[in-house]
Structure formats: structure tokens, C-alpha cells
Amino acid sequence: MEKLLAGKCSQELWFGILISLAMCFVFLCFDFSTFWGVNNEANLLVTKKVDPIGILNFNQTRDSCSDRYIYIHEGLPSRFNYDFLNNCESLSAGTSISNIPSMCPHLVNLGLGPEINSSEGVLSNKSWFKTNPYLLEVIFHNRMKNYECLTKNFTLASAIYVPFYPSMDVGVHLWDSNLTIRDSSAKHFAKWLSGQPEWSKMWGRDHFFASGRIAWDFRRERDNSSAWGSKLRFLPESMNMTMLTLEGSRWKNDIAIPYPTNFHPAKDSEVVQWQNRVREQERPYLFTFAGAPRPNQNGSIRGKLIDHCQASTKCKFLHCTEKKCGNPVTVMRVFQSSVYCLQPGGDSYTRRSAFDAFLAGCIPVFFHPATAYTQYLWYLPKDHTKYSVFIPVRDVKDLKEGQIENELLGISKDQEAAMREEVIRLIPKLVYADPRSRLETQDAFDIAVQGILERIENVRKVITEGTDPSVGFADEDNGKFKFPETIDS
């Protein structure tokens, strides 16, 4: 009888243990599920940041978008962006008022422009477009729409992108002698934006926008009808924001990012194929210059460069007209046939031609540090001797006869090959991928976003430490456009 009772008790004990184990397993599964969640903002599967017990060992313990969320200010009135696209006939496609009627054809393919279908064997078969650089803001906006870490909750965002089209906005009234009319839209934009709840989070210092014009077009320093540009960037609200632009001013909240070229790859393989192509290119000319003289521009060295090029049997000169240099095939054919490409300033310090040269695997020759070295700090190596030649010309008289050819001939073949390889290595960072695709490697857009996030995070740390965030944010860098005795490498 005792054995029977003992057996029964033993069975009940084991049954109780099994039940307990089953219940523990159920609760454990329930608890385990709380470690996982779907992030509705990025549509990604993420894990909780903390494992309080230390039992679970996940490789991914944080949100992959942490500190990278960006909020797009979709509430911006359409008169500051989309209305320009719908009324493109009133927009200027260049720097002259005579170009006003020609912007509409450039807006196709999300701002990339018409696709180039016949390149006479000069370009690769896909992803080449006739791109207008003034549409950087449209290209940037379309890329931002597909950014992997967007949020609809601005309180969670590390940065706030404002899809404002400032170059289109200023272009409508850029030649108007009435300054009130010229500045009206900029003032309405600043007033509207600063009145939104998103503004008070960091009083605009987490806001940024992109521009398809150089910063000087928005920094008119005198209230004189003959003075160029609008006053957008001198408005108090605008001074609290960062502008990504083709060429920065001397104020530190204007950040230069690359001019759009005509190559917008849809696949990483297209970039690699293009790099291999320019690496193997035959280059019969020692140097080339593509441009036009600036006879009415005091201090321009272009006339001298043309004279030097035409006097040399080793130089190819492409006299730019809208028809010639407006054709990417013509420009790329010349640049691909040259070892070095001369890159003086244009209407301003920088020019798109420099990025065309990079794309062609042609080593750029710069004559002023503000054409590249003090501008594209997020993109180009600090040691400029790795990828370029610098011939300092402070005055036109400094450029002696035969100087350019002699200096270039003095560069060893090994150094030349190393510079070209560095130029080719930089290509993926200097092009904007097709907005309808996403590359595995970083392009110019990705680097701009990364730079903005880091810049805003530094401001956030300053605020956390109780320091004035305005200090250093929009200060002047008076040395940026000066000609130093030496360029640090």
C-alpha cells in the first residue's frame, strides 16, 4: 500500500513539474516577444536596447536608425516648392535672364533631366542624363523621400529636412530692381517656418535644406538694387539653419556639396564598370581646358589659360558654348582624352567642370584654394596632393609663359598614376545616385546626410552642456577665400 501511495505521489510530482515547466516556457515566450517590435517610422524590425537579465544574447541590440532619423517638413506650403515645378516656364535654367524659358525640359526623371540614349561610345550605356546643376534641390528632395530612416514624428528626429527650393524661388525675381519683391518670398518662408511647432525643438538649428545655386545668391549684403541676390541667408531665422549648396560662403552654416554631374547610377556595378573604363582610357593630351574667356571679369585667369593651351601641342582647348559644353558627350570625350584638366574659377570660385573632370578620371589642376580645398571638406581628402595639382595664381601676372606645361611635365609618371587612381577612387562619393534606386556604397547624398547629422548632433551636445549653441554655428570664416602662403596637406 505504501509503495502504491509513493508511486502515485511520484507521478503527481512529475506531473506538477511538467506543468510548471510548460507554464514557464509560455511566460518566457511572452516575455521574449516584448524584446521585439516593429518600428512604424522606418518599417524595420528592431530589438530593444536593453537585456536586463543578461540571459539573451542578440548581436543586434539597437535600432539601426538610432540617431539617424530625419523628419521631412511635408507641411511646407506648395508655393515654396511644388508650385515652381508646375509653373516651370517662369524659372531660369541659368545665370542669365535670357535662359528663363528653358527649365521645363530639365525636370523630367525626377530632376535628372532627359536620358542620354546615344553617346557615340563616349559614355556607358545606362544612367547618363542631361542634368542641370540648378536642380540639385529637386534631386536631393527626391532622394530624401526614399531615405531609409524617415520618421513622421518630429520629436524623434535627429534632423529636420525642409523641402524648400531656394534657387527656383530666388530665380523668379533675381533680376528685379525692387528689393521688397526680391526678398518677399524669403521673408514669408522664414516667418512661416519659425511659427511651426517643429521650430521650437532646437530653434531651427536642427533644420536644413538644399540649394541648386551658390550661397552668394542668397547673401546680399547691401540694400541696393544693383547688388546681387536675395537676403534669405541673412534673415535671423535662416541664420539658425544649415544650407547645403553648390558653393559655400564664408559663413559656416553654408556647406558645399558636389555639383550634380550627368552620371546617376542605379546600381553599384555601374559605378565599378565606369571606374574601370576611365582607368583604362588612352589619354593623348597632357592637359586640357574646357571653358570660355571672361573678358569683363577683373582678375580672371581664363584668357591666360587659353593662351597657354593654344600655344602648346600637348593641350586640348574646348571653347565652350552652350551647344558644345551643354552636351555631356562633348565634354567627357575631351576630359577622358587628357591626363590633367585645368580648373580655374568661373563666375564664382567653383565650377561643375571640376566634378566632370573627376568623373572622367582626369586629374584636376586648381589655381585657387577656394575652388575645391576649402569648400568640399566632407568629400575630398585633406591632403590635396593625393588627387590634384595646385598652381597658385594670386594675380594674372603671376602666370608665366609655359609655366603650366613645364610644371605638369615635371610630375613623375608614378605620381601621376597615383593621383589618377585616387581621382577614380573618389568617383562614387561625388555622384548622386538615381533617386529611384539605392546603392550599397555611399554617394554624394549619403555623405551630405551623414555630415548634417553629425553637425546637428554636435549642436545638440552643446545645448545639453548648457553652452550657447549660436557660438560657432554661423560664424564667419574669413580665411576661407584668402590666398594663404601655403596649403596644409
In this predicted structure, what is the pLDDT of residue 100?
47
* Residue 487 reports pLDDT greater than 80: no
Quick one: three-class SS letters along the chain? CHHHHHHHHHHHHHHHHHHHHHHHHHHHHHHHHCCEEEECCCCEEEECCCCCCCCCCCCCCCCCCCCCCEEECCCCCHHHCHHHHHCHHHCCCCCCHHHHHHCHHHHCCCCCCCECCCCCCCCCCCCEECCCHHHHHHHHHHHHHCCCCECCCHHHCCEEECCCCHHHHHHHHCCCCCHHHHHHHHHHHHHHHHCCHHHHHCCCCCEEEECCCCHHHHCCCCCCCCCCCCCHHHCHHHHCCEEEECCCCCECCEEECCCCCCECCCCHHHHHHHHHHHHCCCCCEEEEEEECCCCCCCCCCHHHHHHHHHCCCCEEEEECCHHHHCCHHHHHHHHHCEEEEEECCCCCCCCCHHHHHHHCCCEEEECCHHHCCCCCCCCCCCCHHHCCEECCCCCHHHCCCCHHHHHHHCCCHHHHHHHHHHHHHHHHHHCCCCCCCCCCCCCHHHHHHHHHHHHHHHHHHHHHCCCCCCCCCCCECCCCCCCCCCCCC
Position with higher pLDDT, 446 vs 396: 446
Per-residue pLDDT reduced to its tens digit, 154-200: 999 999 999 999 999 998 888 889 999 999 999 999 999 999 999 99
- The pTM assigned to this predicted structure is 0.85
Per-residue pLDDT reduced to its tens digit, 374-390: 999 999 999 999 999 99
Mean pLDDT of the chain: 87
pLDDT grade, residue 27 (50/70/90)? very low
Mean pLDDT of 83-105: 71
Mean pLDDT of 188-215: 97
pLDDT grade, residue 43 (50/70/90)? very low
